[in-house]
Amino acid sequence: MTGFSYGWPSPSIPKLLDGSHVSVTNDQTAWLAVINILFSIPGAVVAGWALDKIGRQKIILFLGWPNLIAWLLIAFSTRVEMLFIARAIVGFVDAFVFIAIPLYVGEIALANTRGLLGSLTSVSLVLGIAIINAIGHYLSIYTTALICAGLPIIYTILVYFAIESPYYHIMNDQHEDAKHCLRKHRGVEDVDDEFIRLATVIQEDQRNKGHFMDLFTVSSNRKALLIMCGLRTIQQFSGISAITFYTPKILTIDHIVVIYFGVQLFMTCIASIIVDKAGRRPLLILSSMGTGFASTVVAVYYFLLQRTLVDLSNLEYLPVIAMIMYIVLHSVGLYTIPLLMISEVFPTSVKSYAIAILDLYFCLCVTASAQFFYVTLTFEGMYLALFCFAMFSFAGTVFIHIFVPETKGKTLEDVVDHFKRR
């Protein structure tokens, strides 16, 4: 559902500029691409508070209805202002998605499947992006929006049957409810050992009741926060969101756009399967190095095309091949693992604060990278942005090698202890 809203600009902006649906300018489309990200900032502030007060499952259940309203607004819009309002609504709600879903999945998953289940949130996001690019490429904005409006209804019906996180019940001294949730999640009756372990950890966290400033004043929390900010910076300034928003401008061959997102979906699925076997660090290093190399190839191609008289007519498919390599390598690490690790590296007492802060930071990075791409594309040329994205990717490889810990197969408590010992 979030993937639909995230991927909407790619097939829709060219149609809006061609005079379809409503009249817009180039500058308005640039802001339409990122306004949802900007409105995620106030959404993240509210979400961080609501998750501990209201509960994970109740928050997740609520998310369908604003999405339904937003898609209906897009379908029946007659002015560009209606599009901005719709994108703002989904942006506010997306903040809850990016905070609630990783937190919930991290709390209900076992250590040996947490990588798979955590990565599936990214798979779902890419699935939505791939679908809307496929249908949005061939159908009108109106028809695409009506199709997308059906998913929030299905989502709400399915999520109604989701089971609350045992962490939330233990935090609120609802111990029998927590045991009931554990039995449902684990599929066994005897959950006493796990309940005692969770209760001990959570009660210890609550005795040292987490406050917002603990993210900055407690050394282990501060290290985890800085590392996750670093990963989010590398992820976004390797260019992924900007490329997602403006894919048709880079891949000028129409049918290749659909193939590009299909490859991204396939590789994200592969990453979710292998992340618990290969580990987080090796995949991140491979991903960062590979995306840097692929971005460099595309940047050189566009530099020669736009700034020299070199004949590139026989190399028309070079940027296509390089961008497919880019999305293959980005998907196996940088795209999936940062979101997964956010749910792993913080103690329960400050986890909701940390996820909220990181979602805010993510929104700023997405907006900055997308606007940077638009400005450089307009005033200098595509090659400059791609060269910069490549440099960030190569720098990210060094950062990951030095600072990012391996969390494969460790319990959440073991991961937190790692930062306390460093």
Q: What is the pLDDT of residues 124-170, one digit of tens each?
A: 888 898 899 889 888 999 999 999 999 999 999 998 988 888 888 88
pLDDT per residue as tens digits for the range 349-359? 787 788 778 87
Q: What is the CATH number of the domain that holds 36?
A: 1.20.1250.20
Mean pLDDT of the chain: 86
Confidence of residue 255 (pLDDT cuts 50, 70, 90): low
Angle between helices 280-307 and 254-278 (to 10 degrees): 160
325 within some domain: yes
Question: Is the pLDDT at 188 greater than 80, yes or no?
Answer: yes
Structure tokens at 317: 């498919």
* Rounded distance between C-alpha atoms, residue 56 and residue 99, angstroms: 10
Read off the pTM: 0.71
Helices (H), 109-218: 114-138, 141-159, 166-171, 175-186, 192-207, 214-217
152 within some domain: yes
376 within some domain: yes
pLDDT per residue as tens digits for the range 287-297? 999 999 999 99
177 within some domain: no
Question: Is the pLDDT at 416 greater than 80, yes or no?
Answer: no
167 within some domain: no
- The one-letter amino acid code at 238 reads S
What is residue 151's predicted lDDT score, i.e. its pLDDT? Answer: 94
What is residue 184's predicted lDDT score, i.e. its pLDDT? Answer: 86
Cβ-in-10-Å burial (0-12, 13-18, 19+) of 219 comes to: exposed
Confidence of residue 344 (pLDDT cuts 50, 70, 90): confident
Cβ-in-10-Å burial (0-12, 13-18, 19+) of 27 comes to: exposed
* Domain total in the chain: 1
Percent of the chain with pLDDT over 70: 97
Percent of the chain with pLDDT over 90: 28
* Rounded distance between C-alpha atoms, residue 239 and residue 396, angstroms: 12
197 within some domain: no
pLDDT per residue as tens digits for the range 93-128? 988 888 888 888 878 887 777 777 777 777 888 889
What is residue 208's predicted lDDT score, i.e. its pLDDT? Answer: 64
344 within some domain: yes
Domain with 36, as residue range(s), is 2-162+208-421
Provide the b/e sequence for 376-413 (b: ≥16 CB within 10 Å): bbeeebbbbbbbbbbbbbbbbbebbeeebbebbebbbb
200 within some domain: no
* Rounded distance between C-alpha atoms, residue 127 and residue 121, angstroms: 10
332, 286 contact by CB (below 8 A): yes
